[in-house]
Amino acid sequence: MLGETALAPASATQTEPADFDEFWTATIAETRRHPLEVTVQPHDTGLAVIDVFDVTFRGFGGTRIRAWLRVPRGASRPLPGLVQFYGYGNGRGHALRDLRWAAAGYAHLAVDVRGQGHGDTDDDLPDGGPSAGGFLTRGLRSPYEYFYRRVFADGVRAVEALRGLEHVDAARVGVVGASQGGGIALAIAGLVPDLAAAIIQAPFLCGLDRAADLSREVPYSLLAQHFADRRTEVATALDTLRYFDGINHAKRAQAPALLSTGLRDGITPPETVLPAFHAYAGDKRVALWPYNGHEAGGELDEQNAIDFAAALLGAQRS
């Protein structure tokens, strides 16, 4: 694997709520009360070797979440699959945005983050709705109201949606993401016990009790400003964040995982990423890029990811 690597250091410790597992079990159960109702519509892109479909499914609160499904045309079925999540303020984008996973032989589900993506909507939020400031600070007064509760539940449903498609091998489905997407992928690896792989680049939402001190960049700077503006609410906000911290989710994750981080990353500092790696319960490896920032290994990370996924998921190669 390209880049300096490390394997399975001793586990890190991280304060977690006593009812962490009960909270997430109840959240996923509440989400599943709504039928998944996956819709798949062909989307014409003019491509000759990849088929693209416009997909929707119901996430937390019954909200319709949108995604692109890309599959290699003519490949043997059933296909291994990857669910991809995107960075802060981002979503699935254009239908032609990201073709490499389908080109590598996977059923690739590129998922919007609610409120951030391509024409996505949000449910009736108890914490003020889309105009209530940054996503990172929305609903911090309670884990039940926090924005990422809905996002993580949506991610679990995205895995279920891809697994339910007839041309996908449900036993060979993994998750992938960078930055916010990496943080979501890490959480889903903890919430879905039987994933086949997790590919996590420069993950956001890790070490949240330290991130506001370490980073002066958006989005973590929004958290520091929130604490500065609401001095008496800091303890409550930190209690909420512990339900969403990637370190606590990593302790429960079993899928073989590839992480990466740039050691000069000011957006998701390695001091927040590496404790999540140390805490990760499953087989794991990390690529360290000493002179890189939030881009980490860039295209070399992508090459590592393709090799890692192929070894675990067995995508067809011509």
Q: Which two tokens stand for residue 128?
A: 């003020």
Q: 113-122, 181-190, 216-225, 281-290: which has the minimum mean pLDDT?
A: 113-122
Q: Which two tokens stand for residue 192?
A: 């879905």
For residue 130, the model assigns a pLDDT of 45
Span 228-255, average pLDDT: 97
Give tens-digit pLDDT for 68-89.
999 999 999 999 999 999 999 9
Q: Give CA 82 to chain center in angstroms.
A: 11
Average pLDDT, the chain: 92
For residue 3, the model assigns a pLDDT of 72
Count CB neighbours of 145 within 10 A. 16
Query: Who wins on pLDDT, 314 or 251?
Result: 251
Q: 8-12, 106-110, 133-137, 273-277: which has the minimum mean pLDDT?
A: 8-12
Share of the chain above pLDDT 90, in %: 87
Is 143 within 8 Å of 149 (Cβ atoms)? yes
Span 261-282, average pLDDT: 98
Residues 6+ apart with CB under 8 A from 9: 277, 278
Q: 7-16, 50-59, 229-238: which has the minimum mean pLDDT?
A: 7-16
Q: What is the band of 314 on the pLDDT scale with cuts at 50, 70, 90? A: confident
Q: Is residue 219 reached through a cis peptide bond, with omega within 30 degrees of 0 on the bond before it?
A: yes
Q: Which are the catalytic amino acids?
A: 179, 265, 294
For residue 275, the model assigns a pLDDT of 98
For residue 318, the model assigns a pLDDT of 46
Class of domain 4-312: alpha beta
For residue 159, the model assigns a pLDDT of 99
CB-based burial, 204-214: b 16+ in 10 Å, e otherwise = bbbbbeebbeb
What's the whole-model pTM score?
0.93
Q: Structural domain boundaries of the chain?
A: 4-312
Side-chain-side CA neighbours of residue 147 (13 Å):
23
Q: Is the pLDDT of residue 115 over 70?
A: yes
Kindly report the length of the chain.
318
Give tens-digit pLDDT for 23-49.
999 999 999 999 999 999 999 999 999
Q: What is the band of 132 on the pLDDT scale with cuts at 50, 70, 90? A: very low
For residue 129, the model assigns a pLDDT of 45
Closest CA to 226 of 137, 116, 111, 316: 137
Span 124-130, average pLDDT: 44
For residue 125, the model assigns a pLDDT of 47
For residue 2, the model assigns a pLDDT of 76
Q: What is the band of 9 on the pLDDT scale with cuts at 50, 70, 90? A: very low
Give CA–CA dist 201/204, Å, rounded. Answer: 9
Q: Is the pLDDT of residue 99 over 80?
A: yes
